[in-house]
Amino acid sequence: MTKTALNNTLNGKTILVTGGTGSFGKTFVKYLLDNFCPESIRIFSRDELKQWQLKNELASHSNFPLLRFFIGDVRDKDRLSRACHKADIIVHTAALKHVPVCEQDPIEAIKTNIYGAINVIDAALDNNAQKVIALSTDKASQPINLYGATKLCSDKLFVQANNYRGDRGCQFSVVRYGNVIGSRGSVIPLFQKQKSSGTLTITDGKMTRFWLTLSQAVQFVSTSLATMQGGELFIPKIPSMRMIDLAKSIAPDAKIEIVGLRPGEKMHESMISVDEALQTYDLGDRYMLEPMDLRNWNANHPQYAQKERVPSDFSYTSANNKDVLSIERMRSLLTDLDLDT
């Protein structure tokens, strides 16, 4: 992906980020401020304290006047529609994401992750946005917990929204990726907290997970925005790691206590199931799931001239991934990110 393509996509545009004060949202906003010249950046979130903190953090930035803060919840369609007025690009990150919380309060997860997605789609269509990209999760592939199920539903809503746009130019796509190193929802802060006690809790010694950094996530979403024609589900090629090795990279001398799987927790995560292989292409640095039923989908789009269909028995899981993070590499990443090891 060339810098020119990213400039053409992001410069001069009004960009709305739902959940803009979350881990990804903050990093994405800073990336935009540091590297591009958008018309404006709108930060939409429900937590006034986090907005106040972000305002203070970015107040000295030369591009701070580009920022516009909206208090609001994606459950509130009217407020969301106001925030979307004349927005060119919408990056939808707002969600209830913690697996145990979604298991305990399923109705709340449905209201935010599914009905919130519907509101984003309606607001984008009503305000003639150009591009909408929604952040998903590996837990949406073959889901066994409510969080994954709500995100799978959300993914399908965004892909199918391309059939609702009529003569509007609005494009909807999805990105799906794994655990983010350094995000608030990551297990890494828990391990760092437990380190002082000398004991780290692991649910199962064989468990594996996909990992990427916040910077990688931001780059992936940005390049997907520049590539998308609407209807794609993009998946990055990222490494996996055994959770027990992650624990050892943070506290090599600590005792490991096996505590068993939590409700809704998988042993291994999937990013592409074997059932999705028939609609999956390898684009080199990422995979792409093409939509199964879109009237406007162009399989011969120039962006995908080099695509290769994956084998029919292909799957992409944290267990069969050939790219495995070593303890030394993870420790180096944590050091580079200034996270305590």
Interatomic CA distance for residues 185 and 195, integer angstroms: 18
The list of the chain residues with pLDDT below 70 reads: 1, 185, 296, 340-341
What's the CA gap between 217 and 20, in Å, rounded?
14
pLDDT digits (tens, 9 = 90+) for 120-175: 999 999 999 999 999 999 999 999 999 999 999 999 999 999 998 888 889 999 99
Are the C-beta atoms of residues 21 and 44 closer than 8 Å to each other?
no
Three-state secondary structure string covering 109-164? HHHHHHHHHHHHHHHHHHCCCCEEEEECCHHHCCCCCHHHHHHHHHHHHHHHHHHC
pTM (2 d.p.): 0.95
Find the length of the chain: 341
Partners of 287 in the beta sheet? 235, 282
Pick the catalytic residue from 97, 131, 139, 266. 139
The β-bridge relationship of strands 14-18 and 89-92 is: parallel
Q: Which of 133, 134, 153 is nearest to 143 (CA)?
A: 153
pLDDT of residue 1: 66
Q: Which domains does the chain have, with CATH numbers?
A: 3-179+212-238+270-317 (3.40.50.720)
Please give the mean pLDDT across all residues of the chain. Answer: 93
Nearest CA-CA partner of 246 in 197, 209, 296, 299:
209
DSSP state string for 33-57: HHH---SEEEEEES-HHHHHHHHHH
Q: Which two tokens stand for residue 177?
A: 């990726």
195 is known as an active-site residue = no
